[in-house]
């Protein structure tokens, strides 16, 4: 059977697959919306990759 | 040959789970109550929460409740299949396997707790995790089949959502949150025991030690009255805290008077009389108990609205 042909299984499971797809899109939208809301609130925006974290970096004494 | 193939296809289609069956695992009716009470807990808190954070918090509190529902359906599939009220649930109906229900419950638990922690604070997330653990393990697995006080214990799990909503907003537990918890906790036994009085055969056949089976129906009627009497000061006490106002206090006085009268009537009734009128009083009490809880939390919301408009 060629892979381009729609199997009966695809039709039968369309509703289920659509539900899963919409749930995943919804979840992604929530994470995005939450990120925007947190940034607008002024939440901590420390980077965790390849940059020093201010809150755990020991203070450096400067010589006068 | 053709007939056999057709039959197999039809059987597979009938036995296969649809998306709605997975939704049913999450007990959407219970989730609607959780959404409402958690929303009230969040909105009456004296800390403003941004709409997006609030929406996310409520969504994942509800999802956490749904996850515990799926875990409950995984473990209780054997007794669900015996009881008329629950026989059509996805697992006993053969639409979803018990393993799938367990997997869905565990994954949704992890996602909901993590997302609530990220959206609000880890105290609220911890409380949600405890709620799921309490409902799935302490109630469903441990005590539901062991003690006739199972409803009281299960009620505690159902009572946590407004507290989780409150903690999501404020980051701490206070008297108001404890009283909102107490309101649902004390309301649950009379609510469910009234149901057990007119759905008697179900619990008996499932061998769940419901109070009606272990201690008799007269004792159940007495316990309904006792818990209702204990519920009244909790409901009225909440009226004297900062989250309540005139609307709540007026509603609480009226609703508790009616509820108390209903519990008194149930206690006074002989079983023969109740059977003769098909448990009309018990059914009326059960229906009213739904309004009772909805209106108490609705009144809290109304008072919060009045306060925000400077009218109270």
Contact A38 B16 (CB under 8 A): no
Q: B114 — contact with chain A (CB < 8 Å)?
A: no
pLDDT at A53: 67
What's the confidence (pLDDT) of residue B261?
97
- In whole angstroms, give the CA distance from residue B180 to residue B185: 9
Residue B108's contacts (CB-CB under 8 Å, 6 or more residues apart) are: B26, B63, B64, B66, B67, B70
Chain B residue at shortest CA distance from A20: B19
Sign of CA dihedral B165, B168, B173, B175: negative
B122/B113 Cα distance (integer angstroms): 9
Ordered per-residue pLDDT tens for chain B, 312 residues: 334 434 444 344 456 788 999 999 999 998 999 999 999 999 999 998 999 999 999 999 999 999 999 999 999 999 999 888 889 999 999 999 999 999 999 999 999 999 999 999 999 999 999 999 999 999 999 998 999 889 899 899 999 999 999 999 999 999 999 999 999 999 999 999 999 898 866 777 788 888 888 898 899 999 999 999 999 999 999 999 999 999 999 999 999 999 999 999 999 999 889 888 989 999 999 999 999 999 999 999 999 999 988 876
- Read out DSSP for B10-41? HHHHHHSPPHHHHHHHT-HHHHHHHHHHHHHH
Q: Is B16 on the interface with A (CB under 8 A)?
A: yes
Token digits of residue B292: 């009772």
**Cβ distance of A34 and B59 shorter than 8 Å:** no
Q: Tokens 């009938």 label which residue?
A: B14
Instruction: Tell me whether residues A33 and B119 touch, CB distance under 8 A.
Output: no
For residue A64, the model assigns a pLDDT of 61
pLDDT in the model for residue A43: 66
- Higher-confidence position of B90 and A2: B90
- What pLDDT was estimated at residue A57? 74
Q: Which of B254, B252, B251, B245 is nearest to B309 (CA)?
A: B245
Rounded CA Rg of chain B: 21
Q: How many CA atoms does the CB half-sphere of B291 hold within 13 Å?
A: 11
- 3 state SS of B175: helix
Of A19, A34, A41, the CB nearest to B19: A19
Interface of A with B (CB under 8 A): 8, 12-13, 15-16, 18-20, 30, 33-34, 36-38, 40-41
Q: What is the pLDDT of residue B3?
A: 41
Looking at residue B137, the DSSP 8-state letter turns out to be I
Residue B311 has a pLDDT of: 77
Nearest-by-Cβ selection for B119 from A16, A18, A34: A34
How high is the pLDDT of residue B288? 97
Average pLDDT, chain A: 79
ipTM of the complex: 0.80
Q: Which of A45, A63, A12, A39 is nearest to B16 (CA)?
A: A12
The closest CB to that of B52, out of A15, A19, A37, belongs to A37
pLDDT of residue B36: 96
CA Rg, chain A, in Å? 24
**Distance (Å) from the alpha carbon of A62 to chain B's nearest alpha carbon:** 36
What is the average per-residue pLDDT within A7-32? Answer: 90
Contacting residues of A for B59, CB less than 8 Å apart: 30
């Amino acid at each position: 059977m060629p892979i381009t042909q729609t199997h009966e299984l695809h039709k039968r499971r369309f509703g289920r697959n659509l539900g899963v797809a919409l749930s995943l899109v919804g979840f992604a939208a929530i994470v995005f919306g939450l990120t925007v809301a947190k940034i607008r609130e002024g939440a901590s925006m420390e980077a965790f990759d390849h940059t020093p974290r201010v809150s755990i970096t020991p203070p450096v004494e400067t010589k006068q | 040959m053709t007939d056999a193939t057709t039959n197999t296809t039809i059987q597979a289609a009938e036995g296969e789970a649809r998306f709605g069956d997975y939704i049913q695992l999450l007990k959407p009716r219970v989730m609607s109550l959780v959404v409402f009470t958690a929303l009230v807990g969040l909105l009456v808190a004296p800390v403003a929460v941004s709409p997006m954070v609030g929406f996310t918090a409520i969504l994942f509190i509800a999802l956490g409740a749904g996850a515990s529902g799926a875990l409950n359906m995984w473990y209780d599939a054997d007794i669900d299949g015996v009881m008329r009220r629950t026989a059509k649930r996805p697992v006993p109906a053969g639409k979803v396997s018990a393993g799938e229900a367990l997997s869905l419950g565990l994954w949704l638990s992890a996602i909901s707790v993590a997302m609530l922690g990220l959206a609000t604070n880890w105290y609220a997330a911890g409380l949600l995790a405890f709620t799921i653990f309490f409902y799935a393990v302490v109630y469903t697995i441990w005590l539901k089949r062991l003690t006739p006080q199972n409803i009281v214990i299960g009620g505690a799990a159902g009572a946590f959502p407004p507290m989780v909503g409150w903690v999501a907003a404020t980051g701490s537990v206070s008297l108001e949150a404890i009283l909102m918890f107490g309101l649902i906790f004390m309301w649950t036994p009379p609510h469910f025991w009234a149901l057990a009085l007119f759905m008697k055969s179900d619990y008996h056949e499932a061998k769940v030690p419901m109070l009606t089976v272990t201690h008799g129906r007269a004792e159940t009627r007495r316990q309904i009255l006792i818990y209702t009497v204990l519920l009244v000061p909790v409901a009225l006490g909440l009226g004297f805290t900062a989250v309540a106002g005139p609307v709540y206090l007026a509603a609480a006085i009226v609703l508790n008077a009616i509820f108390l009268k209903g519990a008194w009537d149930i206690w006074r009734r002989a079983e023969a009389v109740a059977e003769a009128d098909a448990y009309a009083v018990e059914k009326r009490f059960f229906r009213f108990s739904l309004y009772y809880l909805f209106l108490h939390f609705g009144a809290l919301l109304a008072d919060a609205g009045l306060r925000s408009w400077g009218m109270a």
